[in-house]
Amino acid sequence: MRELIEKIVEEGEVLSEHVLKVDRFLNHQVDPVLMKRIGETFAKTFQNESVTKVLTLESSGISPALMTAYALRVPLLIARKRKSLTLQNDLYTAKVYSFTKQEEIEISVSRSLLHEDDHVVIIDDFLANGQAALGLTEIVKQANAKVAGIGIVIEKAFQDGGTLLRNRGFRVVSLARIASLQGGKVQFAEEVVC
């Protein structure tokens, strides 16, 4: 997506070979005009999937996910994160291990908000090792609902998440794919949509 790539070039900061900081428009300060365009692009991408719900994980996924849900005119469901959870029968839960943070968290969604007739688009800001997105697909599976697709704002294609999810048969659409952050420079992989 052209506007997003331009924004990353202009305002993204390469923190290391593995981390791109996008606090000026996505993770801390949010550009609402760009988010609206991102939402419209995801909505168009998944328009033939009879989507009934958008699912994301708090907190940085919420901005693009909300605009996607708005464009599709369906509810946004925000999975919650907790360090550890006592067993709660009214929740779907999945464990998510973060390689970056080296910690395991539990994510959860109320059973009352996800049903077997739901067609769910999963949206997140970053795709690195894919553990967050995978955990969200597990929650959808527990509800016997369908994953209509996974929309990612920025995929770090040099990490394993994209391959992991695509090998499992999920349709993953990323609006910007980064091939490398080496030498303090953002190098993009081929553009996928719009």
CA 126, CA 56: separation in Å to the nearest integer? 11
Instruction: Please report, as ranges, the residues that interact with ligand G4P according to CB under 6 A.
Output: 19-22, 27, 57, 59-61, 98-101, 125-132, 156, 161
Residue keyed to tokens 């499992």: 168
- Smallest separation (angstroms) from Na ion to the CB of 117: 27
Nearer to ligand G4P, 99 or 188 (CB): 99
Partner whose footprint covers residue 12, from Na ion, ligand G4P, none (CB < 5 to 8 Å by kind): none
Q: Which residues pair with 76 in a beta bridge?
A: 54
Query: Of 52, 60, 63, 93, which one interacts with Na ion (CB under 5 A)?
Result: 60
- Smallest separation (angstroms) from ligand G4P to the CB of 8: 11
- Smallest separation (angstroms) from Na ion to the CB of 33: 21
125 belongs to the binding site for Na ion (CB under 5 A): yes
H or E element at residue 41: helix 32-45
CA 141, CA 158: separation in Å to the nearest integer? 27
The site that binds Na ion (CB under 5 A) totals a number of residues, namely 4
Other C-beta atoms lying within 10 Å of the C-beta of residue 132: 25
Q: What single-letter DSSP state applies at residue 159?
A: S
CB 121 within 8 A of CB 148: yes
Q: Would you state the structure tokens that stand for residue 3, as one six-digit string?
A: 């506007």
What residues contact residue 169 under an 8 Å CB cut-off, 6+ apart?
none
Which residues make up each annotated binding site?
20, 27, 128-132, 156
Query: Of 61, 64, 149, 151, which one interacts with Na ion (CB under 5 A)?
Result: 61
- Smallest separation (angstroms) from ligand G4P to the CB of 59: 4
- Smallest separation (angstroms) from Na ion to the CB of 12: 14
* Contacting range for Na ion; rule: CB under 5 A; set: 52-60, 76-84, 87-95, 103-111: 52-60
Residue type, 176: A
Partner whose footprint covers residue 163, from ligand G4P, Na ion, none (CB < 5 to 8 Å by kind): none
Q: Which residues pair with 151 in a beta bridge?
A: 123, 173
Residues near Na ion, by CB under 5 A = 60-61, 124-125
